[in-house]
Amino acid sequence: MRKLSDTIERLARLRTRPDGLQPATSALRPLDITGSNPGELTGWYSMPEKPKGAPPLVVVLHGCTQNAAGYDRGSGWSALAEEYGFAVLYPEQSRSNNGNLCFNWFSKPDVTRGSGEVLSIREMIATMIADHGIDRRRVYVTGLSAGGAMANSLLATYPEIFAGGAIIAGLPHGAARTVPEAFDRMRGHGLPDADRLQALLSAASPHKGPWPTISIWQGTADSTVADKNAGALIDQWRDALGVAARPERVETVDGQERHIWVDSAGREVLDLFLVRGMGHGTPLDTASGYGEAAPYMLDVGISSTLHIARSWGLTASFEKRAHRPQPASARAEAAGNSAGNNAGTGAGNSAGTASLFSAAWPGKAKPEGVKDVIEAALRAAGLMK
């Protein structure tokens, strides 16, 4: 029987679809995975030219319709890594696994400890540690959309490996098990309550702590992954991290809200960045000198890459480098390209987190993106109405 992903791919070929960023050249090198690779993923990496001791490692997961090199160019991770002396690993999806290059966060075998895509990424990390002397105490993971959902599943299934994680427009672990459920969760429908989300996290691994720190990034005008998913992520992690439902404080960072949760020891272990007016994508500040605006790579005046790296102690300072600013027209065009990556799940917000999200947040009409392509393909296949 033909896989559902194969059916979607064949149908989607009938329509115009973005292929993501495809740079002609890339500084990333192919990774020869030492262990097993049940998820059949490809690995790419960069190492600092002159590392000082055992370097930290950041695992970066691209979104749908994207590839490793394109997301690296857009986000600026390897450029930042070279400057500050840490390594970057990019697992990459293939069309044979998913026709739209999405990590399969909604497939139970791919997000179960010891199998599928999460095990492939775990083996890539082990290869980097063995071959390149990575500091195993300083391994981090981040991702966008479907990559954000998979990053969260990695944090849930292998929490002992990671010191921290950052989830951009992502989704809670275990909230969807089928493609139709995935689309419902993306829209914020049928989301598990806080108790169920915490149970899914507890069942994902035998780990009892300590837990990685969690950073969540969400655009308030994201109509691809509903903002309720950010509340669901908070609900999923707050019990394990030992924090209250409401944040300890809210501060303004580069003009955006940062909600901060503090544990009993006074550590900032959970935060939420709300980027006002931003659609679906990774927030960038190209004036920083890191990253390039492109579809789903949005120049909105705040660099998630820099802020995430700083929160993990990977950068020495937060000074902005001289950089020729983009024309206003280019910034506006990039901000308008906020439709696409498919990831989707979400959960109902608890009373404590519901106040962070307003039903009055404006949606934004956007050009057809990957979500529209996939939905059209599913309708054509008779798999959704």
Residues marked active site are found at 145
Instruction: Report the Cα–Cα distance between both ends of the chain, in Å, rounded.
Output: 22
Beta bridge partners of 44: 30, 90
259/265 Cα distance (integer angstroms): 18
Sequence-ordered list of residues with C-beta below 8 angstroms from that of 288, at least 6 positions apart, any chain: 76, 303, 306, 320, 321, 323
144, containing H or E segment: strand 139-144
Residues 76, 217: Cα–Cα separation, whole Å: 17
Q: How far is CA 148 from CA 108, 113, 143, 367, in A?
A: 16, 17, 4, 22
Contacts of 316 (CB under 8 A, 6+ apart): 84
Query: Can you tell me whether residue 268 is helix, strand or coil?
Result: strand
